[in-house]
Structures are given as structure tokens and as C-alpha cells.
């Protein structure tokens, strides 16, 4: 029975998309890592709690197939702010978040980082 569970999780991992814009923060990558940890021995892995394992799988399938999105359709694809799904994806991209974090830094902090980086480069020569 563990082999069947393992194959089902592998199939789900194959189908789950990976968003390249969310490096180190993507649910697909996290899912793959967790499956690899949980099934270290592959099909021979002994599952301590099969019922919980099946519940997790079913929950992930519902997320992957947009079960609740389809069950409870929305009238509009925007939130109360008027931001669209595409705008949210762009804002949550790793590169954009990094730029926003850099903008938050104060002038003194930017200068300190700039000069400390130069100092370490000079020291290494």
C-alpha cells in the first residue's frame, strides 16, 4: 500500500507547476522536498499513519485542481483593492520583493553596505 501512496505523490509532484519567479518560496518545490523526505526509501517506505498521509494527499489534490475555486466561483478576478491576479504574481516575484527590500533601506545603511563591500574586495587582493 505504501508503494501506491508513493506513486500517487510522485504523480502529483510531476503535475504540480513550479513558478520560476518565486525562487526558494515556491509551493511546488517545497512539495517535492517534503515528498522526498517522507518517502526516503521510495516504495519501501513504512508509513506510520496511513490515514493522515491519505488526508494530506487529498488536500493537496484539492489545491492542485482548484476544487474550492471552482466550487465557489467569484464574480470578479480582483480583490477589493482592484489588483488583478497577474499584478499579484508580479508583485510577489522574488526579484520584485528584493527590489522593494532594497528601497526600504536607509541612506546610511546603503552607504555602509557599499563601502564595506569595497573594503572586503580590497582586503582580498
Lowest mean pLDDT among 22-26, 39-43, 67-71: 22-26
Residue 7's domain comprises 1-73
Q: Are residues 21 and 56 in the same domain?
A: yes
Per DSSP, the three-state class of 116 is helix
pLDDT of residue 114: 74
Among residues of the chain, what percentage have pLDDT more than 90?
30
pLDDT of residue 121: 54
123 phi, psi to nearest 5 deg:
-65, -35
- Tens-digit pLDDT profile for residues 20-37: 777 777 888 899 999 999
Q: Are residues 67 and 7 in the same domain?
A: yes
For residues 71 and 49, is the Cβ–Cβ distance under 8 A? no
Q: Are residues 81 and 93 in the same domain?
A: yes
Q: Are residues 79 and 112 in the same domain?
A: yes
- Alpha-carbon dihedral 115, 118, 120, 123, rounded to 10 degrees: -120
Kindly state the cell numbers that stand for 1: 500500500
Amino acid at each position: 500500500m505504501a508503494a501506491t501512496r508513493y506513486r500517487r505523490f510522485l504523480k502529483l509532484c510531476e503535475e504540480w507547476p513550479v513558478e520560476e519567479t518565486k525562487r526558494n518560496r515556491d509551493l511546488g518545490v517545497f512539495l517535492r522536498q517534503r515528498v522526498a523526505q517522507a518517502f526516503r526509501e521510495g516504495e519501501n517506505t513504512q508509513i506510520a499513519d496511513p490515514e493522515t498521509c491519505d488526508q494530506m494527499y487529498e488536500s493537496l489534490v484539492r489545491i492542485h485542481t482548484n476544487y474550492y475555486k471552482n466550487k465557489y466561483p467569484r464574480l470578479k478576478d480582483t480583490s477589493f483593492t482592484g489588483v488583478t491576479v497577474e499584478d499579484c504574481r508580479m508583485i510577489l516575484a522574488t526579484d520584485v520583493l528584493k527590489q522593494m527590500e532594497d528601497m526600504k533601506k536607509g541612506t546610511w545603511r546603503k552607504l555602509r553596505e557599499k563601502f564595506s563591500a569595497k573594503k572586503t574586495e580590497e582586503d582580498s587582493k
